[in-house]
Amino acid sequence: MTQSKEMIATRVAYGKELLELGKKNPNIVVLDADLSGSTQTKFFAKEFPERFFNMGIAEQNMIGVAAGLSSTGKIPFASSFAMFACGRAWEFVRNAVCHNMFNVKVCATHAGLTVGEDGGSHQIVEDIAIMRVIPNLTVIIPADATEAKLATRAIAEFFGPVYMRLGRSNVPVLFDENEYDFKIGKAYIIKGGIDVSIFACGIMVSKALLAQEALQSEGISAEVVNISTIKPIDKETILSSVKRTGCAVTCEEHNVIGGLGDAVSSVLSESCPVPVKKIGIMDQFGQSGKSDELLVHYGLTKEKIAEAAKEVIKLKS
Amino acid sequence: MSLSEEKLTELKEITKDLRRSILKMTHAAASGHPGGSLSAVEILTVLYFSILKYDPQNPNWQERDRMIISKGHSTPLVYSILAKAGYYRGDDLLTFRQLGSPYQGHIDRLKVPGIETSTGSLGHGTSFAVGAALGCRMDKLNNRIYLLQSDGELQEGSTWEAIMSASHYNLGNLTAILDRNRIQLDGWTEETMTLEPIAKRFEAFGWHVLEVDGHDMNQIHDAILKTHEIGPRENKPCIIIAHTVKGKGVSFMEDNVKWHGVAPNDEELKMALREIE
């Protein structure tokens, strides 16, 4: 797989696909909390004003209203920044949506550090942790625009509550839509290797691929696995990879506590204990800066991934 | 049109059965919320037996009126009335709050038919009602959305987010009824966190407000019918502030904070049942 030069934010792909889905399915309704320009629901809003509900800056109510709409057979997509959709409205996602098993899609943008200049108050690095612990909730993190598009389509067809984590910043397009059969709950081995498994999600998938290339030039064969569904996690693919490689590195734009690293480690510790290193944010808040600068500052780089890979390989018994 | 004498007599008998059931259920569970169930007996009796359109054989009938219970702790009342309405026999109501029982401590739509949404965590029902009202309006359904609110949950900020959005979206198909029993777990609402002036607050948020004696079924009935005219005419959500007495019908429970979330023991059950004749 070679990385395309094209750069598109996952939120942009989401907004475009939402508009397309709106044309095909009259039951799709969209809610936003005064951020439709940022979350990209504005395209749907313009085309289908009667199916778009701006709830103002009131995320709890937005999720509760989405639950009510779903009870009438609508398929609500509720969007805001991840900080507010997951953080502020967590108890509504938990009680109004998931405990009720309502068919609501919480599609939140601006997750992680790559919000950039807005700084720590807006850079949620805890959402994977707090969302994946909610029973009934499916958690999806697209790695690029193609996956975001296909995942948006897939969750509209899937019955049940979903959290989809999307980003603000442009990221490389990794996948070709015509060659990609996206399925909820499936992890994808996107580069085969035998020395180490690199499990990544979201924007870190492209960094993992760069690390894989760097390792290859040093004679190390790394396998890169895209865990686009965090929950339910694809245990089978994770275990089959690690049974070949014997060690693992996890990469996420999230706190190392509670996120992808812990989800993968949990699978491994129960069924195939091997050395694991986690690349992520080391239990700190973010700060203002350019996206790329922030990723370097907090150690979310191909160099750090490659280093971690070499360390876990050494730890193999 | 007011309730006929005959209908009123029938409804009064129902309220007695419901009060007995509330007391027996909380007694059997040795826990639960008798006070706020007893205060809302007349409100829900009028709704279920003289207003609401529903089909117990087809709980998901699309054209049904939506009865949303935001005070999810008033379970003994809700489970008893759904049995009376014919959703299920209710022979097993005394398993309330026991492991494996469908009758959870707070209402659960996945376990009991006839419940629109599981609540219990306060400050949820109004948002849900706004969503249901929007959805039914989009589908041009010939139905109405009813919402039973507790007074204590007006302290939840999310309730006011929802109240704001109901008038913004001109939800003339929504009738809320506030069980204004003036008591919450820690004491009088006005001592815990001032709610008054409730009517002015709702009016300021763009709602049409009516007030009734929440134990006078004629008043409740007539006020609900008024909202059927006013709501669509003015394109406004309506609220009926029903002034009630917590623990209504059992002298030692009335206006007594203790009975918000405590069940009667054997002796208290006997005394209470004697009063409901």
The beta-carbon neighbor of A64 closest among B116, B131, B169 is: B131
**What is the SS3 assignment for A161?**
coil
Over residues B144-150, the mean pLDDT reads 98
- Its domain, for residue B194, covers 5-275
B208-235 confidence digits (pLDDT tens): 999 999 999 999 999 999 999 999 999 9
Over residues A169-189, the mean pLDDT reads 96
Largest CA distance in chain B: 53
CB pairs under 8 A between A and B: 102
What is the pLDDT confidence band of residue B277, given thresholds at 50, 70 and 90?
confident
Spatial distance between the Cα atoms of A251 and A207, rounded to a whole number of angstroms: 9
Min Cα distance B117 → chain A (Å) is 7
**What pLDDT is recorded for position B13?**
98
- Which is nearest to A63 in space by CA: B121, B208, B61? B121
Nearest residue in B to A72, CA atom: B135
CB–CB of B132 and A64 under 8 A?
Answer: no
Work out the mean pLDDT of chain B and round it to a whole number. Answer: 97
Work out the mean pLDDT of chain A and round it to a whole number. Answer: 97
Other CB atoms closer than 10 Å to residue B98's CB: what's the count?
Answer: 12
Domains of chain A: 7-172 (3.40.50.970), 188-310 (3.40.50.920)
| Chain B residues close to A80, C-beta within 8 Å | none
Spatial distance between the Cα atoms of A5 and A258, rounded to a whole number of angstroms: 32
Say if B134 is an interface residue toward chain A (CB within 8 Å).
yes
Say if B107 is an interface residue toward chain A (CB within 8 Å).
no
The complex's ipTM works out to 0.97
What is the pLDDT confidence band of residue B264, given thresholds at 50, 70 and 90?
very high
Sign of CA dihedral A306, A308, A312, A315: positive
Residues 6+ apart with CB under 8 A from B43: B148, B177, B179, B214, B220, B242, B244
- The share of chain B scoring above pLDDT 70, in percent, equals 100
**What pLDDT is recorded for position A147?**
98
What is the pLDDT confidence band of residue A273, given thresholds at 50, 70 and 90?
very high
The beta-carbon neighbor of B117 closest among A51, A61, A71 is: A71
Spatial distance between the Cα atoms of A235 and B57, rounded to a whole number of angstroms: 42
B86-126 confidence digits (pLDDT tens): 999 999 999 999 999 999 999 999 999 999 999 999 999 99
**What pLDDT is recorded for position A1?**
53
Per-position b or e across B194-219, b if 16+ CB within 10 A of its CB = ebeebbeebeebbbbbbbbebbebeb
- Which is nearest to A202 in space by CA: A308, A311, A303, A279? A279
| A→B interface, C-beta within 8 Å | 29, 50-51, 53, 55-56, 58, 60-61, 63-74, 76, 91-92, 95-96, 99-101
For residues A248 and A80, the answer to whether their CB atoms sit within 8 Å is no
A223 is catalytic: no
Spatial distance between the Cα atoms of A268 and A276, rounded to a whole number of angstroms: 9
pLDDT higher than 60, residue A3: no
Indicate the number of domains in chain B.
Answer: 1
| Chain B residues close to A51, C-beta within 8 Å | 138
**What pLDDT is recorded for position A2?**
53
Nearest residue in A to B160, CA atom: A61
CB–CB of A66 and B168 under 8 A?
Answer: no
Other CB atoms closer than 10 Å to residue B60's CB: what's the count?
Answer: 11
According to DSSP, the residues that pair with B178 across neighbouring strands are B149, B241
Spatial distance between the Cα atoms of A234 and A227, rounded to a whole number of angstroms: 8
Over residues B38-53, the mean pLDDT reads 98
Q: Which long-range contacts (CB under 8 A, 24 or more apart) does A209-218 make?
A: A209/A1, A209/A3, A209/A174, A210/A3, A210/A302, A211/A302, A211/A303, A211/A305, A211/A306, A211/A309, A214/A302, A214/A303, A214/A306, A215/A306, A215/A309, A215/A310
Other CB atoms closer than 10 Å to residue A104's CB: what's the count?
Answer: 32
pLDDT higher than 70, residue B149: yes
pLDDT higher than 70, residue A241: yes
What is the pLDDT confidence band of residue B185, given thresholds at 50, 70 and 90?
very high
Report the alpha-carbon angle B179-B185-B187, nearest 5: 90
Which alpha helices (DSSP H) does chain B contain, by range?
Answer: 5-29, 34-38, 41-46, 75-84, 125-138, 157-168, 189-192, 198-204, 217-234, 266-275
Over residues B227-251, the mean pLDDT reads 98
A244 sits in which H/E element: helix A235-245
Over residues B63-84, the mean pLDDT reads 97
Looking at residue B107, which CATH number applies to its domain? Answer: 3.40.50.970
CB–CB of B130 and A61 under 8 A?
Answer: yes
Distances (CA, A) of B1 to B47, B213, B218, B219: 15, 18, 10, 11
Over residues A108-116, the mean pLDDT reads 97
Spatial distance between the Cα atoms of B34 and B22, rounded to a whole number of angstroms: 6
For residues A157 and A24, the answer to whether their CB atoms sit within 8 Å is no
Say if B105 is an interface residue toward chain A (CB within 8 Å).
no
Spatial distance between the Cα atoms of A183 and A312, rounded to a whole number of angstroms: 30
Tell me the pTM.
0.97
Spatial distance between the Cα atoms of B8 and A90, rounded to a whole number of angstroms: 45
Spatial distance between the Cα atoms of A134 and A129, rounded to a whole number of angstroms: 9
**What pLDDT is recorded for position A172?**
97
**What pLDDT is recorded for position B1?**
73
According to DSSP, the residues that pair with B188 across neighbouring strands are B183
Which alpha helices (DSSP H) does A5-122 contain, by range?
Answer: 10-24, 36-39, 42-47, 59-70, 82, 90-92
Q: At what angle do helices A59-70 and B157-168 cross, to 10 degrees?
A: 60
| DSSP assigned state of A34 | S
Say if B218 is an interface residue toward chain A (CB within 8 Å).
no
Residues 6+ apart with CB under 8 A from B164: A56, A58, A61, B205, B206
